[in-house]
Chains A and B, each alone.
Chain A
Amino acid sequence: MKKIVTAISGVVIGFLLATVFFADFTDIGPKSVADSNEKSNSEKVYVPFGEKDEYYLFASGGHSGQMFIYGVPSMRHIRTVPVFSQDSATGYGWDKETKEMLGGYTWGDLHHPAFSETDGDYDGKYMFATDVGNSRAAVMNLETFTVKDIISIPNTSGPHCAMFVTENTEYMFLPTRFAVPIGHKYEPLDDYSEKYRGVMSAVTFDEKNEKLGIAYQIALPPWSYDLSDAGKKMSKDWAVITTYNTEEATTNLEINASQADRDFILLFNWKEIEKMVENGQYDEVEGQKMIFPEKHKGAMYLIPVAKSPHGVDVTPDGTRFIASGKLAPAMTVFSFEKAFKAIENKEFAGERNGIPILNYESVMEREANPENALGPLHTQFDDEGMAYTTMFISSEIVKWDPNTGETLDRVPVQYSPGHSVAAEGDTVSPDGKYIVALNKIAKDSFLSVGPSHPESMQLIDLSQEKMEVIQTAPVNPEPHYAQMIKADKINTITVYPKDEANPNAVYSLEDTRIERKGNEVHAYGIAMRSKFVFDVNTERPDVIEVNEGDKVTIHLTNIDLDQDITHGFAINGYDLNIEIQPGQTNTVEFVADKAGTFPVYCTNFCSALHQEMTGYLLVKPKN
């Protein structure tokens, strides 16, 4: 016996020593392929000068209130588009139109960008976004990459999951993250369950006038509404939203909203709700058509789900929706077909706040639980219908098959991916080429910039059998959700077309003028390389002279109808700065309440003599 043990341990030690001394460990870890047929990772993401990226990536900028535009696969940051925050680089928030649009707010928390859709596919016309910080919704035109309209959403506090767009952009639904009393009235938290509501709004978009509107609102129970998705194909009239705090806790939510074993998914039929509104089944509250589910019954159902869910995503074929557990580490695949059957048979397991609850078992198809995958948050899809779920806690993306629940592949990311976005990954026809992990943390990945490290986005190649991270890019705070669209779907304009009907536009030097009406001064000027002309008939055409206290309106038209010749207009010391793009007419309005001499100048480099593009605002003192 002893002999055998000695012999075996001798052999084992021998193998161990041989391994330590002679084994080749060099092929452990990521391989950099130098094979002539296979591209290296840097070659896969390299877009040579003169060529352009295959996809646009629109990444929400979170509390910067901005939208970041990237090219994929290069991951080059192309442009920052201000949406809910002032941006002095583009003069956004100082000119009359954008200042009015921002409505006195100076920041926003931009979440969940969404493209306009036609038949469930991106049409490349508009981009919508919501503001959790100040409860607003915005629409950006993709011909100019500028925001066209912003509306405040009454009765709602922090539309987090929105926007999610229905199949033909009929509605964007904006549920609330923070339940509040209707009209934001004061109500004691002791009356939370009775007086507080999680109001959801059905926002509409009038494409002709580029205006957002609210069709109706639903006074949902006072829970927190998290992520959402609109149905597709067979489920196109439906939508799903996850909720948490169905405990209706009013303090220390970390503990108190994590007690119930099950929270809910709200499943609703917006087509039926539309009919309810048409039939007058609503109350008029705070100027809104408000539906109270306990009063105006129908079209809304609750489905129990593992506690504190985050993501709920509809599969590209529209037959299922997948909820991710966050605190219960599993993904649940639900079937629309089963849900419809249960609704038809009225198989309800009771009611909550007037809304019928469906049986978990009669809607659920399967649970997927990859080993040690923790914190599943959000799911995207590829061209074969395979699911990719971000694991917030175990920092990875897991590829799995919604048809079987089988785990297919896993790839680690650095670190803590909240959302991910696949190429057209939430449409009826995902492309399946790339997925980007939107990481909340990126410590040690880049040169240090102090205690707060940059966040990061990582590009993952889906075209091989194994997922592979092929590019990492640092990003500004903070990547949240994003949308990735094929570049050829977006058709930008190069110059604003002349608008002869615009009374503020001036296209020829002879028409420039400064008009005075009492204490109002209106200048109709032009910006051109490399001068301002406010009134061509004066001794100094680039000077505006006003009296202290005058209300000054300056309309400027950029008559350089040449692409990329953008002018700026800043008034030194007056805290004013606007931008005028080629062919555009823009207006700045202010009260000349500071007497003195204030140079004006072009802020946006326009040509060789840009430095000379200046003038004066002279404000004569009152006495």
Chain B
Amino acid sequence: MSRKLTKQSTILLVISGILLSSSIFFPWWGMKFIAPQYPEGLNIIVYPYKMQGEIEIINGLNHYIGMKPFSEESFPELKYLPYIIGGMSLLIFLTAILRSKKLLLILILLFTVGGLLGLYDIHRWLVDFGTDLDPSAPIELDPFVPPILGENRIANFITHSYFSYGSFLIGITFVLMVFSLWRVRKK
């Protein structure tokens, strides 16, 4: 069994590096709020470096239940997340150049941990925004935590949380990395 990655695995790694770095420019996660008076839905769309959607309108509504306003400033992650992703991509390219199996294994572990941390981070924010409600808000609501994925009901809004293209690219990146390691093992 060779210690070096095969040519095929290397190519797969390069592709996964490209996919990972391009994921910066795609939305990763989002939430859609639908209510009778907003049948078209209001959106929060999260990119690694920015937020999009009807944030101001959502903030306008959220003040009724005493939720803190969302803004790009309130998520420091948005400032360094692109660099982390960029760094990871560079590591993948480095692994591909060195064709190091060991490094790839470490990378996959790092990726797994990073991914879990990312999910935990989203969850942490959801808990923070859903439970740390201003007690003097006009509408008193039991603290709530919307799911990372799936449907929830808050007051008159139905929320849909979903992963988007960016995280799909991450998923493909991860599969490609595991696959290239698996190819090597087979030899």
Contacts and interface: CB of A to CB of B under 8 A. Distances in A.
Nearest to A564: B37
Contact of B57 (A561, A609, A612): A561
Interface string B131-163: 000000011000000000000000000000000
B73 to A, nearest CB: 13
A612 B137 CA distance: 13
Interface string A601-614: 00000011100100
B138 A562 contact: no
A608 B64 contact: yes
Contacts of A528: 60
A607 B64 CA distance: 10
A609 B64 contact: yes
A172 B128 CA distance: 62
A560 B64 contact: no
A582 to B, nearest CB: 10
User: Of B54, B57, B60, B63, which is in contact with the most chain A CB atoms at under 10 Å from its CB?
Assistant: B60
A567 B61 CA distance: 15
A560 B138 contact: no
Contacts of B72: none
A125 interface: no
A551 interface: no
Interface in A534-560: 560
A296 interface: no
Contacts of B57: 560-562
A506 to B, nearest CB: 15
Nearest to B38: A562
Interface string B118-137: 00000000000000000000
A529 B138 contact: no
B71 to A, nearest CB: 12
Contacts of B64: 607-609
Contacts of B61: 529
B60 A609 contact: no
Nearest to B40: A563
B24 to A, nearest CB: 28
B56 A609 contact: no
A144 B116 CA distance: 50
A335 B144 CA distance: 78
A529 B139 CA distance: 14
A561 B56 contact: yes
Contacts of A607: 64
A609 B60 CA distance: 12
Contacts of B60: 528-529, 560, 562
Interface string A591-623: 000000000000000011100100000000000
Interface string A280-316: 0000000000000000000000000000000000000
Nearest to A560: B60
Contacts of A562: 54, 56-57, 60
Contacts of B138: 609, 612
Contacts of A529: 60-61, 63
Nearest to B156: A608
Contacts of B139: 608
Interface string B4-41: 00000000000000000000000000000000000000
Interface of B: 54, 56-57, 60-61, 63-64, 138-139
- Counting from the closest, the 5 A-B pairs by CB-CB distance are A562-B57, A529-B60, A609-B138, A560-B60, A561-B56
18 contacts: A528-B60, A529-B60, A529-B61, A529-B63, A560-B57, A560-B60, A561-B56, A561-B57, A562-B54, A562-B56, A562-B57, A562-B60, A607-B64, A608-B64, A608-B139, A609-B64, A609-B138, A612-B138
Given A529-B63, A562-B56, A562-B60, 15 more contacts: A528-B60, A529-B60, A529-B61, A560-B57, A560-B60, A561-B56, A561-B57, A562-B54, A562-B57, A607-B64, A608-B64, A608-B139, A609-B64, A609-B138, A612-B138
